[in-house]
Amino acid sequence: MSQNDVNFKRINIISLVITALTLSVTIFLFYFLTSAESRSNTFVFTLIYTCVLELIFYGYVVLFLFGGKSNKPFLGATYSSIGATIIVFIVISTFWLLIYNIFLFTLLTDKIYYSTSIVLFTILIILIASLTKLDIFQKSDSDHIIKEKNEFKPILIEVAELTIRYNNHLKSKNIKSNLESNFESNLQKLQNKIKFLPKSVVNNKNIIDKLIYLNNKLGILLSDCEKSSESDFEEKLNKIESAINEHLLFIATINNQMIK
């Protein structure tokens, strides 16, 4: 068990004790400060609602402020949103309970008191449910982006490996690529162009799939070239050059589309 788990367990125990004491004191004060004759029909409802507010408050403190972030069930923005919603709900509900029981109990009916309190609680549930659902969507999008990035990284690695194999093979044959520039081979150009593709590319599954396909095609052609005989070596090399040009053309098309 990690230190964080131990600390969280201690916090749970302490919080349970504090919550039990708070509820006990609340119930005691409700009965101690009122006489049996003065307790209206709303007495029990107010007591129960007050206890619910305390449970919500301590539950938020333990699960969200102390325990939640270490386990990361929600995104950071969701913690803040749910926390603000709970605090506002507790403040408004407490204000409503006090105002009604001190000033408005003679002006408003019990049904209005009950229904308003229940509506406030229902709004809290709806807001938390909505924030939780939004959090799930955001995490799903985030996981999708991470997955796409994890798929994009091997493309760069594979092109780098193909570049090394391609250049080593040309050196072993003592041949320079016909389309090689003064500073870098075509595959090196390809590697650089892929490296500096727009970030939006990693979110496009069709583009990722196409890049993977072109990489695989290059890898197969290079393997064939490495195994080729002297007679068909030039033909294999030309196929590789064509595949590289196809790759470069595809990337140029992507860049043009992004600019538009």
| Rounded distance between C-alpha atoms, residue 255 and residue 260, angstroms | 9
Question: What pLDDT score does 187 carry?
Answer: 72
191-240 pLDDT, tens digit per residue, is 777 777 766 666 677 777 777 778 888 888 888 877 777 777 778 778 88
Residue 146 pLDDT > 60: no
Q: Which helix (H) or strand (E) holds 171?
A: helix 110-172
Cβ-proximal residues to 135 (8 Å cutoff; 6+ apart), any chain? 74, 75, 78
pTM: 0.50
Residue 67 pLDDT greater than 70, yes or no: no
Work out the pLDDT band at 118, boundaries 50, 70, 90: very high
Longest dimension (CA), the chain: 110
Nearest-angstrom CA–CA distance, 17 and 27: 15
Question: For residue range 85-114, what is the model confidence (pLDDT) as tens digits?
Answer: 888 999 999 999 889 888 887 788 888 889
Q: For the chain, what percentages of helix, strand and coil (3-state, to nearest 5) are there?
A: 85, 0, 15
Percent of the chain residues past pLDDT 70, beyond the cut? 72
Asked if 63 and 87 count as a contact pair (C-beta separation under 8 A), the reply is no
For the chain, the C-alpha Rg in angstroms (whole number) is 34
pLDDT band at 179 (very low <50, low <70, confident <90, very high): very low
